[in-house]
Amino acid sequence: MKKIILLVLIALAAKPTTYAQYTSYGKIEYERKSNMYQQMEDMAEDDEDERWMGQMKSMMPKFFLSYFDLEFNTQYALYKPGKEVDNKYKGWGTPPGTENVVFTDFENKTVTANKQVYEEKFLVQDTIRKLTWKIEDEIRMIANYKCRKAVTTMYDSVVVVAFYTDDIMVSGGPELFAGLPGMILELAIPRLRTTWIATKIELTPPQPNDLKEPTKGKKVTNEELYISLQKIVKKWGKWGNRSIWWSML
């Protein structure tokens, strides 16, 4: 009997990979959810605006939802618009960034992103963004993955909260957010009243053709885009900075 137990133990020991439940490729669906009511309130400059917003609210739903897919393996990741949903926010009411495509090359530490900013389609080519992440001890389960909280601040004041999992061995995430020890499954930017949460994870390897780098658009770096946006939003009041943050996600 003892021998059998020993045998079992040896067998277990000999196959250490059995408990390595790591994910190194797959497809994550993120739900981007923006609280439009709060955004309107943030935008109101005075009582008059507020009254107008009140009328808007009575006609529009509270949340704007959009979906994005992130397909990844250890080399590349491609973040692009996912399933389409019908919503009432149309035309000028649509929040920005719904057409963003981000290609990340983890080996060369570069990103190529397609961003439609107003009439201009940009091709942002840059290195993977480096942010100073503060790791906190808060843990939560997202899509059955154990995630840890990390917080950073962009543009001096915009707080970004991310929950990443070590169990996905790819340091990616939605939009241009990356550089944490594992995959970001939840992202929240309170200032933009918006969260991205992984709602579905499929463990299927992406086909080589799936992970294609975007090529079209006006080539810029993140810095160049930031400078050109700052010029145009000068007289835009409260919307000005927000417009930049949305464009620089």
Applying the rule CB under 8 A, the residues between 106 and 135 that interact with other proteins are 116-121, 132-135
Nearer Cβ to other proteins (12/215): 12
**Is position 4 an interface residue for other proteins (rule: CB under 8 A)?**
no
Output the six-digit token pair for 202: 């499929």
> Using CB under 8 A, which of 43, 154, 197, 211 touches other proteins?
197
User: Residue 57 CB, nearest distance to other proteins (Å)?
Assistant: 8
77 Cβ contact partners less than 8 Å away, ≥ 6 residues apart: 70, 71, 102, 103, 104, 106, 170, 172, 211
**Is position 93 an interface residue for other proteins (rule: CB under 8 A)?**
yes
**Is position 202 an interface residue for other proteins (rule: CB under 8 A)?**
no
**Is position 8 an interface residue for other proteins (rule: CB under 8 A)?**
no
The C-alpha atoms of residue 134 and residue 117 are separated, in whole angstroms, by 30
The C-alpha atoms of residue 6 and residue 63 are separated, in whole angstroms, by 58
> Using CB under 8 A, which of 1, 4, 5, 20 touches other proteins?
20
Number of neighbouring beta carbons within 10 Å of residue 186 = 21
Stretch 46-65 residues interacting with other proteins (CB under 8 A): 47-48, 51-52, 55-61
**Is position 156 an interface residue for other proteins (rule: CB under 8 A)?**
no
**Is position 9 an interface residue for other proteins (rule: CB under 8 A)?**
yes
Distances (CA, A) of 108 to 65, 76, 111, 127, 177: 33, 10, 9, 8, 16
